[in-house]
Amino acid sequence: MSGDWDGGIDLRDSSSGQVRFPFKGKHRYQVGGLALLPSGRICSTGADGTLRVWDVATGQELYRLEGHGSWVGCVAALTNGRVISAGVDLSIRIWDIGAAPIRYRFEKHDYWPTDLAVFPDGRVASVSLDQTIRVWNIETGRELKKLELKPLETRAIAALSDDLIAYGCFRTITICNVISKEKLRIFDAHETWIHGLTTLPAGRFVSAAEDRTIGLWDAITGKQLQRFSGHGDAVRSVAALPNGQIVSGSADRTLRIWDITTGREVRRLEGHENIVTSVAAAPGDRIVSASFDHTVRIWDTTTGREVGRISGAENRITRVLALPDGRIVSIGNDVVVSVWNIDTGEPIGRLSLDASTWSAAALSGNRLVVGDGLGRLHLVGIA
Tell the burial category of 15 from Cβ atoms under 10 Å away from its Cβ (0-12, 13-18, 19+).
Answer: exposed
Q: What is the CA radius of gyration of the chain?
A: 22
Q: What's the pLDDT at 154?
A: 83
Q: pTM for this one? A: 0.78
Q: Are 219 and 160 within 8 A, CB to CB?
A: yes
Quote the CA–CA distance of 122 and 182 in Å, as a whole number: 21
- Torsion over CA of 368, 374, 375 and 377, rounded to 10 degrees? -20
Quote the CA–CA distance of 96 and 53 in Å, as a whole number: 12
Distances (CA, A) of 332 to 62, 291, 315, 327: 18, 9, 6, 17
Number of helical (H) and strand (E) elements in the chain, helices listed first: 0, 38
Q: Of 270, 279, 275, 271, nearest to 247 (Cα)?
A: 279
Query: Which residues fall within 8 angstroms of residue 16, CB to CB, at 6 or more apart?
Result: none
pLDDT tens for the chain, 383 residues: list them. Answer: 444 445 557 665 555 555 555 675 667 777 878 888 877 788 888 888 888 888 887 777 777 777 777 888 888 887 767 788 888 887 778 786 654 554 566 778 888 899 999 999 989 999 998 899 999 988 778 899 999 988 777 889 999 998 899 999 889 999 999 999 999 999 999 999 999 999 999 999 999 999 999 999 999 999 999 999 999 999 999 999 999 999 999 999 999 999 999 999 999 999 999 999 999 999 999 999 999 999 999 999 999 999 999 986 778 899 999 988 889 999 987 888 888 989 988 888 777 777 889 999 998 877 889 998 888 898 887 76
Amino acid identity at 323: L
- For the stretch 274-298, what's the b/e string if a residue is b when 16 or more beta carbons lie within 10 angstroms of its beta carbon? ebbbbbbbbeeebbbbbbbbbbbbb
- For the stretch 322-347, what's the b/e string if a residue is b when 16 or more beta carbons lie within 10 angstroms of its beta carbon? bbeeebbbbbbbbbbbbbbebeebeb
HSE at residue 17, side-chain half, CA atoms within 13 A, is 0
Q: Of 221, 298, 216, nearest to 259 (Cα)?
A: 216
Quote the CA–CA distance of 102 and 100 in Å, as a whole number: 5
How many other CB atoms are found less than 10 A from the CB of residue 166?
Answer: 26
Q: Are 76 and 44 within 8 A, CB to CB?
A: no
Question: What domains sit in the chain, N to C, each tagged with a CATH number?
Answer: 2-96 (2.40.128.630), 104-381 (2.130.10.10)
Q: Are 3 and 30 within 8 A, CB to CB?
A: yes
Q: Are 115 and 155 within 8 A, CB to CB?
A: yes
HSE at residue 296, side-chain half, CA atoms within 13 A, is 35
Query: Which residues fall within 8 angstroms of residue 180, CB to CB, at 6 or more apart?
Result: none
Quote the CA–CA distance of 187 and 217 in Å, as a whole number: 11
Quote the CA–CA distance of 140 and 108 in Å, as a whole number: 14
Distances (CA, A) of 210 to 200, 279, 333, 359: 21, 16, 21, 19
Q: Are 310 and 296 within 8 A, CB to CB?
A: yes
Q: Are 281 and 241 within 8 A, CB to CB?
A: yes
Q: What's the pLDDT at 101?
A: 52
Query: Which residues fall within 8 angstroms of residue 152, CB to CB, at 6 or more apart?
Result: 131, 169, 170
